[in-house]
Copies of this chain bind each other. A is one copy, B any other.
Amino acid sequence: MTINADTHAGPRSDVAAETAETNALKTTAEPASTHAPSAPSHPLGPLSASEITQSSDLIRSAWPENTALYFKVVTLREPAKKELVPYLAAERAGKAVPSIDRRAFVVYSLKGTHNLHEAVVNLTAKKIESNVKLGPFVHPNADGDEIVAIEKAALSHPDVLAEVAKLQLPEGAELVVDPWIYGADGLKEGKFYDDVRLYQCYIYMRDPENSSEKDSCHYSFPLPISPVIDPATMELIRIDILPTGLDETIAPLSAYKPRPANEYIPESQHTMRTDLKPLHVQQPEGASFTVEAFSDLGRTIRWQKWDFKVGFNQREGCVLYDVHYDNRPLFYRLSLSDMSIPYADPRSPFHRKAAFDLGDVGAGWMANNLELGCDCLGSIYYLSSVLSDTRGKPVEMPNVVCIHEQDSGILWKHTNYRTNRAVVVRNRELVLQTIITVANYEYILAYVFNMAGDFTYEVRATGILSTQPLDLDLTTTPHPYGTAVHLGVLAVHHQHFFSLRVDPMVGGHGNQITYDEAHAMPRDPKLNPHGVGYTVRKTEIETSGGFDLDPSRNRVFKITNPAVRNKLNNLPVAYKVMVPPMQPILADRDSFHYKRAEFADRSIYVTRHKDHELFAGGQYTNQSRGGTGVRSWAERREDVKEEPVLWVNFALNHIVRTEDFPVMPAEMLRVMFRPANFFERNPSLDVPSSKQAFNCSVGLNGVEGGVEKLSVGDNTGCCGK
């Protein structure tokens, strides 16, 4: 168990490393690619299968033959904003569009090494535009191939098996490994390292009474042995033994004590409910939205005056571009840019536990293949995509986004009590949903639009808690860092931070971020003699920085366009941002959790737009050390009266409940964007009223034998038969 240190032997500066590698590169003037020129493609279209192949072939052609490359990312390099804005404007106006080269962004390593490279490939010109070796302290994302290999490596290593043997597990015990992103602690002494990319493997066991059940919840049986593995070499670096008590003591491994299982699969439940009646959502005339291809994989969605382009990539999953309402511009680009989940347990090795699931793995990669009738209800359209595998070959990603409409209650109502006439309009919503599985955990991510110009980003956190072993007899003792969720199972508290990146164009480009606060007026014999007056104060954000919410002042952030005025009242058009308040990251300012999660300390960051600054934690989050994300960009103290980018950070502190195990009921977070003096009046006045002839509801009241009972007879509504 030694670390393969010679990967980074010799000088480590970027310049030296690049010089050494550059010599190995062939010229890219005459690419080896044999791809036929592809048809003109939209600059925002996700890389097509052939473009992925073309990109990796081009990169391969730059290296001596038989150099084994390992592709980590092959994705669209989006055009610079100053190129794209005129393109989109021309496209919308139905005019000839300027030509924009298609480019790919490629991250790859030399197979079996930690040598990491980043390249930009011009697919139109068929050449590599840049190709540099990265490092030190720059690490790529995980991928499925290496995770499977690590699971195998961990469980086949004799040293690991020797440790496991000490647990005297029941006959036929099946072990399961969750390779975890290693994290960072800055230590490089003794047996600890964090400057080489590593995996911390947590080992679990399937229910030994039912070990053939591959869907047994192994998180109910965490074991105290944690191998650390180098993914480049698959070498075992060391084995950590986990603390299983109330403090940092590491107890010698001892024999496993039997305990019951705790399963989430339905066939393992004692009883299932039998009294839930079906509820169907039917759209007999089809859905109200349309889907149109703007590129091989890119889609334009139109629904109830909204239109936008949908992209999909390895890192962010579903991305929206060029969002308009009623042909009025609102958002240039929208995506979930990052997440970070630091854990509360300060004991080694848990102190490094902080997942950045988008940067460390990729929301695109982890997107579920959504299934009809399971993940959405009603009339569903699925978007599929294509990503690259580690050989640079395209992989089909079917049904990664589901699109459907839903009813969400009443949007507005008024009854004129003098005439008794009620006018009711229901709130129909359009949902674009992606579900990602991050080993144990699930995130349900959705863009939601309504008919009153509101846009909501919704996150539901569900799935299974990442558990750790707890001495069986401590289950009933309060634990300082978490909750005992099962016999001998500790689930540690953790914070979830999400960063939504909003590149706005409310009413057009040239936006400004402001915030309003409501303040009481001072008592004044003339102006405020009764002490009840209050007014709204506006603050314009002029310089990039981080900002906090302040519910006590009703502080509301807005995206405004000072150049475009509401025709009625002359106020600048705006969208307000409704963000739930969060507890900032609890890890202290000198900790790596804090330094790395550059979006976890403030609810709002405002930066000046810079092409390719897309991810709040930086381009490379795995074992990152900070200094490369939104906090650092904000510290440039740039003028944001032009080209502001808004980073909306929201979070939950998951203080674990027993109810969250063995699978947790979703915790929901929502960020809402609402027009504020953007329209001159309620923009949903033209939505037809809610009527029985349209909604076909069913009345259940009925009298049966004198006792009022539910009527289940006539339940077909006005549209039955």
Contact = CB atoms under 8 A, between A and B. Distances in A.
Contacts of A664: 412, 682
Nearest to A526: B248
A87 B464 CA distance: 42
A717 interface: yes
Contacts of A532: 342-344, 346, 351, 354, 586-588, 591-593
A471 to B, nearest CB: 13
A256 interface: no
Contacts of A415: 368, 435, 437, 442
A251 to B, nearest CB: 17
B688 A276 contact: yes
Q: 7 nearest interchain CB pairs?
A: A373-B692, A346-B533, A286-B712, A531-B588, A551-B581, A531-B591, A476-B570
Contacts of A519: 586
A675 interface: yes
A374 B717 contact: no
Nearest to A700: B381
B659 A676 contact: yes
Given A527-B248, A588-B523, A676-B659, A571 B707 contact: no
A94 to B, nearest CB: 19
A1 interface: no
A383 to B, nearest CB: 9
Contacts of A418: 176, 214
B273 A687 contact: yes
Contact of A271 (B452, B521, B586, B686): B686
Contact of A536 (B290, B460, B493, B569): B493
Of listed A343, A516, A700, residue having the most chain B CB within 10 A? A700
A410 B444 contact: yes
Contact of A583 (B416, B551, B590): B551
Contact of A484 (B421, B569, B659, B682): B569
Nearest to A660: B682
Contacts of A462: 410-414
A278 interface: yes
A549 B580 CA distance: 13
Given A287-B277, A533-B344, A659-B452, A552 B583 contact: yes
Interface in A509-547: 516, 518-521, 523, 526-536
Contacts of A444: 409-410, 413
A453 B416 contact: no
A249 to B, nearest CB: 11
Interface stretch (A43-51, A120-128, A221-229, A259-267): A259-267
Interface stretch (A24-32, A387-395, A423-431): A423-431
A353 to B, nearest CB: 9
A250 interface: no
A689 B373 contact: no
Contact of A535 (B248, B344, B410, B686): B344
Interface in A434-484: 435, 437, 439-440, 442, 444, 451-454, 460, 462-464, 475-478, 480-481, 483-484
Given A381-B710, A481-B535, 13 more contacts: A264-B414, A271-B686, A276-B288, A280-B282, A280-B719, A346-B528, A373-B718, A377-B426, A409-B666, A413-B463, A519-B586, A566-B658, A664-B682
A80 interface: no
A405 interface: yes
A264 B682 contact: yes
Contacts of A681: 262, 485-486, 658-659, 661-662
A207 interface: no
B304 A376 contact: no
A345 interface: yes
B283 A279 contact: yes
B685 A663 contact: yes
A85 interface: no
Interface string A89-132: 00000000000000000000000000000000000000000000
Q: Which of A346, A424, A480, A693 has the most CB of B within 10 A?
A: A346
Interface in A543-574: 549, 551-554, 556, 566, 568-571
A105 to B, nearest CB: 26
Given A663-B685, A696-B373, A282 B717 contact: yes
A697 interface: yes
Q: Give the residue among A273, A286, A293, A534 with the most B Cβ atoms within 10 A.
A: A534
A21 to B, nearest CB: 34
Contact of A412 (B288, B527, B663): B663
A350 B525 CA distance: 16
A571 B354 CA distance: 27
A465 to B, nearest CB: 11
A655 B556 contact: yes
B534 A685 contact: no
A172 interface: no
A330 interface: no
Interface in A645-666: 653, 655, 657-666
8 contacts: A214-B419, A272-B687, A277-B283, A287-B710, A351-B532, A523-B590, A530-B592, A663-B682
